[in-house]
Amino acid sequence: MVIEVGVQGLLADRYQLQELLGRGAMGEVWRATDQILERPVAVKLLRTDQAADAERRLEAQTAASLNHPNVVGMYDFGSDRDQLYLPMEFVDGWSLAQDRSLRGRLKPREAVTIAAQMAAGLGAAHRHKVIHRDVKPANVMLTAERTVKIADFGIARFADAAASTLTATGKILGTADYLAPERALGRPAQPASDVYSLGCVLYQLLTGRAPFGGPTSLAALQQHVSAAPAPPVLLRPEIPQPLSDYVLSLLAKDPAHRPTAEQAADWLAAHQHTPTPAVPDHTSPMPAPSPLRPRPRRAVRPAPRRTRLRAARPNWRPEPLSAVPLSSCSPRPEPSEHPSTRATPPLRPPLLRHRQPSPPHLPTPTRPQPSPLPPHLPRRRPRKSTTITRSNRTRPSMAPGKARDGSRTIEPS
C-alpha cells in the first residue's frame, strides 16, 4: 500500500500525521507527532513522481545534516512504501510572509536584523555545499522571540551539481519575484543566487514592495535580467544611505559582484544598530494642540444714545435786520501771524427748524397814469410800423418823395 500525499495515518510506524500545514509545488507539510521521542515534528511528503530520483535522496540527506540556529533542523529522511518523507523541526510561530501581510513594511533596524539572521543561515548551508534555490518570505519562519529559521530545503541542490535550473519538462524551479538573473536565463544555480534572493527579500521588507514586478511572471523575469531597481532610499527617505547602497550590491546583475552570504551576515550584523536618520521637516508630525482655555469676556460698553438737537431757547426769534444797529456788528479781524493770536469769531444762533414768519402784506405800487390832454389839442396819429424787405426797397433817385436834405423817405404800403 502506497501512502498518498494528504492521507492521514502512521508513517514508517513512527510519525503520526495530524494536521495539514501547507501545500507547495514539491509536496505537502503536515504536523505530526514522533511516537518514539514523543515530540511534535513537521513532516514533508514529497510527490510520488520524484520518489524515483536517487539524487534527491542524497540531497535530502545532506540537507538533514545541517545544524544551525537559523535553519530549520531536519531529523530524519526515509521512504515508506515508495513515499519520500522529511521529518523536520516544528516551529511554533508564523512565516515572514504572514508577518509582512499584517504589518506591511518593517522598520529599517528590524528588517536588517531579520536579513542578518537569514544570511547567517544561508552561509551555513553554503559551507556544506547546499544551495536553497527558493529563498522567499514564505520559506522563512519567525518564532515568538523573533528568531529567524529558514525552512523548505526540499528543492536544494549541491553547489557542484551539473544539473540545470530547468527540470525535465522545462519548468523553472523558484519564485519569479525572487529569482536571480542567471537562473532566469536557464543557467545553473550557485551560492550567489541565494544572495540575490536575500537582497530581494530585504528590499521588500524595507520598501513594502518587490524590486521588480509585472502582470505576469515572464515580465518579472525580464526585469530581473535587464532592468535596474530603484534605490530604496528614494522610496523611503528614512532608510540610511549606506543600507540602501548595500541592498543594491546584493541585487547586482553579475554574480561575481555580489558579496557572499557570510560577508552579508557580518555587514548586516554590524549595521543593525545604526541610528535611523531624522525624517525631513515637511514630513514630521505636527505638535499636539494645547488644551482649549475659556477666553476672558470683555466689558461691553453701552452704545451712546442718539439725542436730538434742540434749540437752547425754543421761544427765541431772530430780530429783523433793520432793528440791528450797524454799530453792533464787529468788523472782521485781521489775520495774525500766529493761530493762537487770532480773534475768536462771535457765536451764531443755532438754526431753527421752524419757518420764519412772512413779512406783512404791502400794497403793490402802481404806475402813475399820464394826465389827459385838453380837448382842444389834436391827437397825434400813431405811426405804422413797417418792415423793410428786399422787395419794397427802392433805389435812390430824385423821384417825388425825396426830402430836401437828400434823405430818402419810404412811403407806407
Q: Which of 99, 134, 152, 177 is catalytic?
A: 134
Q: How far apart, in whole angstroms, are the C-alpha atoms of residue 3 and residue 51? A: 12
C-alpha 8: how far from its chain's center? 53
What residues are paired with 142 via a beta bridge? 94, 148
According to DSSP H, which parts of 168-307 are helical?
A: 181-184, 191-207, 217-226, 232-235, 241-250, 261-271
Task: Tell how strand 78-79 and strand 27-34 pair up.
Answer: unpaired
Q: Is 134 one of the catalytic residues?
A: yes
C-alpha 347: how far from its chain's center? 75
Q: Is 107 annotated as a binding residue?
A: no
According to DSSP H, which parts of 278-408 are helical?
A: none
Helix axes 191-207, 241-250, angle to 10 degrees: 140
Helix axes 261-271, 108-127, angle to 10 degrees: 150
Q: Are 255 and 182 in contact (CB under 8 A)?
A: yes
Query: 199-230 burial string, b = 16+ CB within 10 Å, else e?
Result: bbbbbbbbbeebbbeeeeeeebbebbeeeebe
Q: How far apart, in whole angstroms, are the C-alpha atoms of residue 309 and residue 180? A: 101
* Look-up of cell digits 519575484: 177
Residue numbers in the known binding site are 44
Q: Where in the sequence numbering do the catalytic residues fall?
A: 134
Residue numbers in the known binding site for ATP are 44
